[in-house]
Structure 1
Amino acid sequence: MTSFGDLLGPQPTLLPGDDEAESLLLDHTAPEEVAAAHPTASIAWAYLAEAALSDERTITAYAYARTGYHRGLDQLRRNGWKGFGPVPYSHEPNRGFLRCVAVLARAAQAIGETDEYARCLDLLEDCDPRAADELGVG
């Protein structure tokens, strides 16, 4: 049984994370430095995207979030995700990807890209029905 109660659905995908990138970010290393040193770490892109969005640099936030989203998709696929199925928010290493999706949704909404906004909300819902609320989207 998956963590979302679907007996026939795929098991949740739990990303391994990037301990070094996460440690650097927690030690207040500049996210730009972390992303440059660890470009596959969605969490670094999430930090950059969230900061840009809070500074009202919407297009920059969109670009950072899209980069982190695509890096996260690559990791998910390498870890058995087939484009659907649970990606639990409760699993800390999944949060970089999910945070990027949330910022991408907010940035898309801000520039009037309603189709992308809806796709991001659908993806968050498919990954974890609690993720959008946890991330303040929707």
Structure 2
Amino acid sequence: MTSFGDLLGPPPTLLTGDDDAESDLLNGVDPAAVAAQYPSASIAWAYLAEAALNGADDDVAAQTAAYAYARTGYHRGLDQLRRHGWKGYGPVPWSHQQNQGFLRCVGALARAAQLIGEEDEYARCLDLLNDSDPTAIDELGLS
């Protein structure tokens, strides 16, 4: 593991984001329509996962939907990170707004995994968030 801010570690990965998807979401377009139009935009999947998690404590269908949305956004984000030179480790700063779609998907995946009892996945997601940027866990309310 590298520590965040390690001068000898890899440089932070800064995603470019998807301006059109982000604009649509900020302008109130249905996240499902945005995800369908821009399937590589992790931020759209994060919106869907977070909405499904809202009040999903006792709703197994919502929990599973949230898990699926979050996992889709997580994998789309991994693809983007790799295209930007990420090798599977190193900082992915929360402070860089375009990284937040991916990090929000990881956070939603952690929450959904915990709800469905997948504790190993929950722990892996927390580890990934901590390795990416330790502040992300607090920003996502997972501390």
Quote the RMSD (CA, aligned, Å): 1.1
Q: Which residue of 2 aligns with 1:46?
A: 46
Q: How many residues end up aligned between the 2 structures?
A: 136
- Conserved in 1, the CA contact under 8 Å of 2:4 and 2:132? no
1:113 pairs, out of 95, 107, 118, with 118
Tell me the distance in 1 between the aligned counterparts of 2:133 and 2:85. Answer: 17
* Distance in 2 (alpha carbons) for counterparts of 1:126 and 1:46: 20
Structure 2: give runs of 5+ residues left out of the alignment: 57-61
Identity, in percent, stands at 74
Within the candidate set 92, 96, 99, 1:91 is matched to: 96
Runs of 4+ with >2 A deviation? none
User: What amino acid is aligned across from residue 36 of structure 1 in structure 2?
Assistant: A
Aligned to 1:24: 24
Cα separation, 2, equivalents of 1:104 and 1:7: 30
Structure 1 unaligned blocks of 5 or more:
none
What do the CA deviations read for 1:11-37 (whole angstroms, capped 9, x no partner)? Answer: 000000000000000000000100000
Counterpart CA distance in 1 for 2:31 and 2:55 is 15
- Could you state the TM-score of these two structures normalised by the residue count of structure 2? 0.93
